[in-house]
Amino acid sequence: MLEARDRRRAGTAPPPDDHEVRILLLHANGMGGTIRTVFNLAGYLARTHDVEIVSVVREREEPFFPVPPGVRIRYLDDRLPRRRGLLSRFPSLLVPKDEAAFHWFTLRTDLKLVRYIRSRRGGVLIGTRPGLNLIAARFAPPEVVTVAQEHGNLAGHQPGVRSQIMRRYGRLDAHVTLTETDLRAYERAYRKAGRGTPRVLARIPNAVTRLGGGVSPLTATTAVTVGRLTHVKGYDLLIRAWAHVAERHPDWTLRIYGGGPRREKLQASIDKRGLTDAVVLEGPAADVGGALAAASMFVLSSRREGMPMVVLEAMSKGLPVVSYDCPTGPSELITHGLDGLLVKPEKIHALADAICSVIEDEDLRRKLGRRAQETAAGYDIEVIGARWESLLDRLVRARLDGGAVPPPDESGGAADGAADGTAKAERPVRGVTPDTSGADTATREGDAGGVRRARAVAVPFGGLARR
């Protein structure tokens, strides 16, 4: 009924308040790559726009990461008080049961989210995981510009989630993936489903977070990795690989930063292999930049990734990266032999050999580290933020004008452009029939796959309403 009423209102909706940006996040006070990158983007947009991060839940007193200047945080379900209401005892009815974060959602969060989303009277609403995007697609008023920001990848979602994405995301204004591989996967999936697509499909990678700690001198006999201690991160594989590394280089140490449910199992694996002094579970890193700068190599052992931002953060510190070539992100960030080494996924001996090659060849280590810094510079917030600025500008402009989403501004070399700063024109999604009225044509953002020389030029979308 609520969805039907929203559709009836579409013809008389007021113009959006394009100056507002609201970002839906599961747990703003938690720790992890998604939270860090969302804070990074929010800080950039807050320079010229009214930005609020809307955290579904609150289970810590304060955010783990510093809140950028100009950014507010609103908590919908504050779980710090011990008393829980009746609705908190029942699971969500709006989030798919096989959504990875389903256990966080309850009837209470359903109610809070729907009330908040329906209260919006314009602006931009960005969701950061499928459960939030699906609710936004169903309940956002028609004057709100809705954007789904993918922080994983299509293949990583369970079948029930993928089915709901194909069913609901067609109501969104834009769907933004992190990688070209995932963009192509979604394009094929939308075409096969035949149920419509968001107005724009775009690929915008996350921006690398500027961290303190300086650049690594690459002199320490230390390798490092950072991430949640979960199965998908593959630290069980890395520990097994390090057993072979330790036989050849007993003076080297692996430091694993992060917390999570597999800590005890990982520690047991370390102890079983006699690696107590060679592999250290450090816990969460309060100073990620300092931890990276104190190492001479970064290792990524994940079974799958969205776009591993910690790889770019390590690169920004001049660290060579040894990574499994897992789906979907590492191969889009790392050029094998140029700024890092890619290894066939889940191969223990191959990972150990690649790590040892970086340890044993100082010239290789320094060459990879220098080029890694150059790669990371292409993902600076000034570059990536401008891409977001351009996309949101065009989405809001289309909403105000009631027409199709205009293509990227080729004259400015801006946001969605190729590596040399020139922008490709958007093209209709293959297999999707354009609306001949021009009001709802699904388009696919052009992207050359690299951003190293992109110029950060964009028209602030907040200026439209003020002209």
Rounded-to-integer distance, Cα 451 and Cα 332, Å: 11
Q: pLDDT tens-digit profile of 133-150? A: 999 999 999 999 999 999
Name the domain boundary from 326, 361, 377.
377
7 within a domain of the structure (yes/no): yes
Whether residue 177 is found in the same domain as residue 193:
yes
CATH code for the domain of 308: 3.40.50.2000
pLDDT tier at 24 (50, 70, 90 boundaries)? very high
Q: Are 403 and 149 in contact (CB under 8 A)?
A: no
Query: What's the rounded mean pLDDT across residues 359-379?
Result: 97
* Average pLDDT of the residues of the chain: 86
136 within a domain of the structure (yes/no): yes
Q: Which of 1-15, 16-30, 82-96, 418-432 has the lowest mean pLDDT?
A: 418-432
pLDDT in the model for residue 328: 83
Name the domain boundary from 377, 395, 414.
377
217 within a domain of the structure (yes/no): no
Name the domain boundary from 358, 377, 396.
377
Whether residue 227 is found in the same domain as residue 145:
no
Whether residue 432 is found in the same domain as residue 298:
no
pLDDT in the model for residue 431: 32
Q: How many domains are contained in the chain?
A: 2
267 within a domain of the structure (yes/no): yes
Q: pLDDT tens-digit profile of 421-461? A: 323 323 333 333 233 223 333 455 543 333 322 333 333 44
H/E element, 142: none
Whether residue 398 is found in the same domain as residue 301:
no
Whether residue 357 is found in the same domain as residue 422:
no
Q: Which of 59-63, 200-204, 437-441 has the lowest mean pLDDT?
A: 437-441
198 within a domain of the structure (yes/no): yes
195 within a domain of the structure (yes/no): yes
Rounded-to-integer distance, Cα 154 and Cα 185, Å: 7
State pTM to two decimals. 0.78
Residue 4 has pLDDT above 50, yes or no: no
112 within a domain of the structure (yes/no): yes
Whether residue 167 is found in the same domain as residue 104:
yes
pLDDT tier at 307 (50, 70, 90 boundaries)? confident
84 within a domain of the structure (yes/no): yes
Whether residue 329 is found in the same domain as residue 233:
yes
Per the structure, the complete domain to which residue 78 belongs is given by 2-207+382-463
Top-ranked range on mean pLDDT: pick from 207-216, 293-302, 399-408, 429-438: 293-302
Whether residue 234 is found in the same domain as residue 118:
no
Query: Residue 123 — left, alpha, or beta (φ > 0 → left; ψ -120 to 50 → alpha)?
Result: left
Q: For the chain, how are helix, strand and coil distributed in percent, rounded to 5?
A: 40, 15, 45
pLDDT tier at 13 (50, 70, 90 boundaries)? very low
Q: pLDDT tens-digit profile of 379-402? A: 999 999 999 999 999 999 998 888
